[in-house]
Amino acid sequence: MCGIFGCISKNGNVAPIIHEALKRLEYRGYDSVGEATLYNGKLYIKKDQGKIDEVHKIHNLDDLPGNIGIGHTRWATHGAPLKVNAHPHTDCDEQIAVVHNGIIENFSELKLELENRGHMFRSKTDTEVIAHLIEEALKSSSLSLEEAVLDAVRRLEGSYAIAVVSTKEPDKIVCARNESPLVLGLGENAVYCASDIPAFLPLTNKMVVVNDGELVVLSPEGFKIKKISDASLVTREPKIVDWTPEMAVKQGYPHFMLKEIHEQPACLRNTLRLQEHYLDLMSTFLDRAREVFLVACGTSYHACLAASYMFSKLAFLATYPVIASEFVEQHGKSVNIDSTILAVSQSGETADTLAAVNCARQRAATVLGLTNVIGSTLTRVSRVYICQQSGPEIGVAATKTFTSQLSVLAQLALRLAKKRGKVSQDEMDFLAEKLESLPDVVEKIIETQEENVKRIAKKYKDAETFFFLGRGINTATAYEGRLKLMEIAYVPAIAYPAGESKHGPISLVEKGFPVVFICPRDGTHKTMVGNIMEMKARGASIIAVVEEDDDEVKGLADDYIEVPRGIPEVLSPIPFVIPLQLLAYYMAVERGHNPDTPRNLAKSVTVK
């Protein structure tokens, strides 16, 4: 996730306006920053790695000349967070500048094609291909900038919101959108394009939403929208937004956590755009290892636990999920050159995870990383790393992290299974198709179940304890549901593999004790029904997360939350965790707590 911004002003230089707007978009990423302006037929660019304030201190972003320009604040996905990879990116002649938010899936093919035709690339980003494609379109025929951008974006696969300026038409910004957000702002004496409303909200509250598959030409006179597919004109009336700046940053949601829960379909779509060769490389390391440890803390650990079932069931690889703070004590003496450590950390900076990784490195083990932050310590110490692609997560309680990490880990397990010849092509195709459908499935759960979960949270808001039970891979989902409820709603809660519940914790159960069952229709279903009966017999209130046509469990439950049917077992934690995230969120709200800032906790724990 990055932030893009563009501005054409009728009075005065735009550089300070862009700078301020990027500050308001900094929550979308802060690896590097850059601005490009046009003045007297020349392109001026300033960019560098680091946060906006740091870069401004060194380069003074405000003194770029001109009344038209674009800017970018970056959350790295392709290419390290270095100056060379900072946006805007330019064509060979530095006449065109592009800022981009999104992921261009086919950039490697396009880059090769362009390089073969003599284009010189400066960065490792996917974005730079866009500048060169526009350059070609402008050079090879007498196209306008608008037509050249249209030509270029028609060749792109993936997600993008872009803003482009060119010295050839120095009074225009051309933007286009597919899947990444883009809005226009219309002021008295200026027009703006941005990733998000907060960027221009202090300047104007008159806005226009740009839809997927649309291209926009901004000029001092206003805006024109066209469809990318057939270049037909679109008419759209501006709207007035009545958000406060604080509401705008949360896109109208009361809390970041709820916004991030709702972002999960989009994040899952991003995880499906990983570069194949990294998955291949990582699965090769996993395949060769004598032993594989999955090391993480908190929510990332729960993703590892679920992943251990994926690796075992799909690729027939036994892995050891280990809580990072225990790794050195448990395996510090035995880990060796034949061991591989897959460290999973949203921040890439968690001290316990890094300590485990250091111990493993000292003993010559291979370290692989899965993280959300390219440039983090974890990426620097890993032989290979993959980005979980979810953009900054601000709520302390991780939500989109869990589902994104699981989607990446599932792809890795599938890749390894293929390498090892452990799944048939039919099964591979089936699972790949199901994986692709997950963003829509998650969207549907949120759409259809949020009100229901809110009602359940109201009903149980005064419960003194909660019990979460799952079996198989959904033991991890139960742990994650418990963690969410405990950390933000402050409800003491326990989670167990359902089969183990009768070896102790069932003694806690008395009338009205809420027990949440994660109950997909997989091989564990029959025994789960038995566990539900055991709890019911002792007076527990049963809250079941079930597949929508599971009348048997619905009939037994006091309350149930539905998930679409037909999700393969190995992928089930992704949809099944969504109701539990919502439950924790609404329980926290009902109990009067701010879910974004739970007491005593930190987003990134950098002490051991």
| Residue 108 within binding range of ligand G6P, rule CB under 6 A | no
Q: Could you please report the per-residue DSSP string of 138-184? A: HHHS---HHHHHHHHHTT--EEEEEEEEETTSTT-EEEEEEBS--EE
Do residues 75 and 97 lie in contact, with contact meaning Cβ atoms separated by under 8 Å? no
**Which of 229, 219, 210 is CA-nearest to residue 7?**
219
Of 108 and 597, nearer to ligand G6P (C-beta) is: 597
Of 9 and 345, nearer to ligand G6P (C-beta) is: 345
Number of residues that bind ligand G6P (CB under 6 A): 16
Burial label for 404, CB within 10 Å (0-12, 13-18, 19+), is buried
H or E element, residue 107: helix 107-116
| Residue 388 within binding range of ligand G6P, rule CB under 6 A | no
Rounded-to-integer distance, Cα 494 and Cα 472, Å: 17
Of 298 and 514, nearer to ligand G6P (C-beta) is: 298
Q: Which of residues 290-309 bind ligand G6P (CB under 6 A)?
A: 297-300
The total number of residues written for the chain in this structure: 608
Closest approach of ligand G6P to the CB of residue 142, in Å: 52
| Residue 601 within binding range of ligand G6P, rule CB under 6 A | yes
Rounded-to-integer distance, Cα 295 and Cα 194, Å: 38
Do residues 271 and 388 lie in contact, with contact meaning Cβ atoms separated by under 8 Å? yes
Do residues 78 and 48 lie in contact, with contact meaning Cβ atoms separated by under 8 Å? no
Closest approach of ligand G6P to the CB of residue 493, in Å: 16
| Residue 474 within binding range of ligand G6P, rule CB under 6 A | no
Applying CB under 6 A, which part among 124-132, 193-201, 431-439, 598-606 lies near ligand G6P? 598-606
Closest approach of ligand G6P to the CB of residue 59, in Å: 31
Q: Which of residues 7-46 bind ligand G6P (CB under 6 A)?
A: none
Residues serving a catalytic function are 2, 603
Of 85 and 345, nearer to ligand G6P (C-beta) is: 345
Facing residues of 160 across strands?
102, 179
Which position among 205, 270, 283, 347 is part of the footprint of ligand G6P (CB under 6 A)?
A: 347
Rounded-to-integer distance, Cα 101 and Cα 377, Å: 24
Closest approach of ligand G6P to the CB of residue 602, in Å: 6
Largest interatomic CA distance in the chain: 81
| Residue 604 within binding range of ligand G6P, rule CB under 6 A | yes
| Residue 350 within binding range of ligand G6P, rule CB under 6 A | yes
Which position among 182, 286, 398, 408 is part of the footprint of ligand G6P (CB under 6 A)?
A: 398
Q: Could you tell me where the DSSP H helices lie in 333-424?
A: 351-362, 377-381, 400-419
Of 123 and 300, nearer to ligand G6P (C-beta) is: 300
Of 299 and 411, nearer to ligand G6P (C-beta) is: 299
Rounded-to-integer distance, Cα 377 and Cα 318, Å: 27
**Which of 516, 539, 511 is CA-nearest to residue 528?**
516
Q: Which of residues 352-371 bind ligand G6P (CB under 6 A)?
A: 353
Which position among 55, 261, 396, 408 is part of the footprint of ligand G6P (CB under 6 A)?
A: 396
Q: Which residues of this chain interact with ligand G6P, rule CB under 6 A?
A: 297-300, 345-347, 350, 353, 396-398, 601, 603-605
